[in-house]
Structure 1
């Protein structure tokens, strides 16, 4: 007998999928963890040798900084690639190999074109470089922050804790800056704005993903003629998203130097072209289909676009976690006026892409083929909403967690789906038992609590690790 309340389990199922995906993530990225452990041990031995020989600390900081920053990039790529590519591979829009390459290129493009804003924020927006006694102290401080963040990410990932690289590096920089020059060195306004973004972005993603799901559910999925409705609504929707994305990218290209409203011209052209091509593709699907096509087939190309957009957004946001501290180590300055070289952003994006290509295949396969796969409609809404929110945050120079933003989207589509189901099924046989309602509430609270605790614990722990590393390294180097 079919359970009458089955449709009310959607959010709980999606949350359980996230839990399984987190477990799969640990098993898929174990090689990265082993590499991180070796690098951290090597850096420790490097500074032990420095203490014994008295060699130049600046050269040691540069070498160690490259090692730790490179590992962070690999770890970011390996851990987060499934958020971008999993839904598109699961829908059959692209194979894993070409998908990894495509999203990897999008990561590099995002890093090169838009990663400088977050990099500048991390390099000079958390700790005021002018308060430090000398530039060498800034080098040691940022290296200590990298080591503290890397150590916590390694330990937390091994313990299957869903920590964020962005949260880790911000906390570690703040702790190292406090150890180097005291509380007066910290830019409390910058720290507060970042913390506020961490709170606001998951809710913004939930609202946007819920709005997208409402549109697709009412206008397309539940329409009497689903394909005709898809031809009417999906091309303009995806065209608008592509147009806005291209307009945003046009403002970032140095060769064009476009500003609004002129940047809207290439965006409008790209949006119209994509809408036309998608309309033709849907017409071909209609002519080739022997029966009513499912939403999985209809949304293949939109999911692929969302994956590319998510890769670009991820590169724009997370490349700064690598390039920001590395900028201070390689080009120390006490006035914060140093520009982020494109080569450094490209290197940061390349390490993230390399981590995705080398270590992400297994995780993408598990997420796209196993029980962790989301419904294509919900996956499209979540991926697109996450990409847009992360892009906005990156444009403002705010390092946010793409995973936590995505979980906000999961809650948004889950609650909207349940609300729509209640309206369409008012004659449901019986209300849920009190025990069942309590169980589902506990499931949802546990996920909110996990994310909240991971955020609240990560920042103080990485701040403490960054401070301890900084004090030890300042003592060893004598800077």
Structure 2
């Protein structure tokens, strides 16, 4: 039992780092447009991160806990390897200021440790397939929705003065940022819930059909909210200014397009990357202005990090699984 408690602690550390690493996804746009200062923006985001469990079901937790690797493969070493691989990759990319995906680091970690134990037979291809598809679809949908919103808003406010547009969307950004933070908390915190629930079932602490106990839900939401409070300022800078410069109207469109994408994925039980989603949306609003407004060299570097994340985390996880067997 002490080992289970220790692994739950490691899982909550990952969830905390997820909030720290991905806080930029929730607040980069509203900070870069100077609608909120960083201090108040993280408080705003952390609150909506925490209350997300009241809005969404736990479909994503079910996918992560039983739809990536077979439940009968999961044991202490697999969980340790998966969390370790995800945490190491998160720390590396956080230190370098690269907005990679904590979600896909965890999925990669589960796959790496699961395959190290049970081979390819351990993989649940249906769950992995929709997760991999979301790597492409979530930023593409965020891009498309944000682009369409910019065009619609530009047409709707064509007779308004720039000052009026700025005032309207400074207020509107409070709502769009809230929706995005809600979607972030709803999708991302559930991934750690799924891992902890799988661990509890593996040890016989929980029985019956796969479910997530309330105390696990509250613990994961709290850990993520706390991480968001501390923020990831290196990544905020990349997301909020290096890709493209944003106005309040553009920030509203990016956050709303990203939020709609996250809501759809969470309700469908698909563990998507909030990083991928908001990056696609930010690129979309930049491209709506003009293609040259997007710093494509920065965006290209981010895409490379996306491609590398799952295999890199999987490799670290498989190594940790092997090393833990030597102890």
The DSSP-based 3-state class of the residue aligned with 1:104 is helix
| Cα distance, 1:66 vs structure 2 | 2.9
How many residue pairs get aligned? The number is: 324
Where does 1:6-405 land on structure 2 (aligned, <5 Å)?
58-60=1-3, 62-89=4-31, 96-114=38-56, 116-130=58-72, 132=73, 138-220=75-157, 222-223=158-159, 225-226=160-161, 293-332=163-202, 337-357=209-229, 359-360=230-231, 374-405=246-277
Q: Distance in 2 between matches of 1:364 and 1:442?
A: 17
How far has the Cα of 1:176 moved from its partner? 0.8
Q: Is the 8 A contact 1:168 1:462 kept in 2?
A: yes
Tell me, which stretches of 5 or more residues in structure 1 are unaligned? Answer: 1-57, 227-291, 420-439
Structure of greater Rg: 1
- Structure 2 contact 245–286 (Cα < 8 Å) conserved: no
For residues 390-445 of structure 1, the C-alpha deviation after alignment (integer angstroms, 9 at most, x for no partner) is: 111122222222122112112222222228xxxxxxxxxxxxxxxxxxxx59952x
Q: Deviations over 1:22-49 (max 9, x none)?
A: xxxxxxxxxxxxxxxxxxxxxxxxxxxx
Answering whether residue 307 of structure 2 is matched by residue 460 of structure 1, we say no
Q: Cα distance, 1:367 vs. partner?
A: 8.5
Change (3 A) 1:362 1:459: closer
The CA distance in 1 between the partners of 2:34 and 2:319, in whole Å, is 48
Q: Distance in 2 between matches of 1:333 and 1:301?
A: 49
Structure 1 residue 475 displacement after superposition: 4.5
- Deviation at 1:97? 4.6
Aligned equivalents of 2:31 and 2:294: distance in 1? 32
Which stretch shows the higher mean deviation, 106-115 or 298-307? 106-115
- For the 8 Å contact 2:79–2:195, the answer to whether it is kept is yes
Listed as ranges, the gaps of 5+ residues in structure 2 are none
TM-score (norm 2): 0.87
Taking the aligned partners of 2:127 and 2:236, their CA distance within structure 1 comes to: 39
Displacement of 1:373 in angstroms is: 5.8
> How far apart, in 2, do the equivalents of 1:84 and 1:100 lie?
8
Q: Give the 3-state SS of the residue equivalent to 2:163 in structure 1.
A: coil
Shift in alpha-carbon separation, 1:211–1:333, aligned structure 2, 3 A: farther
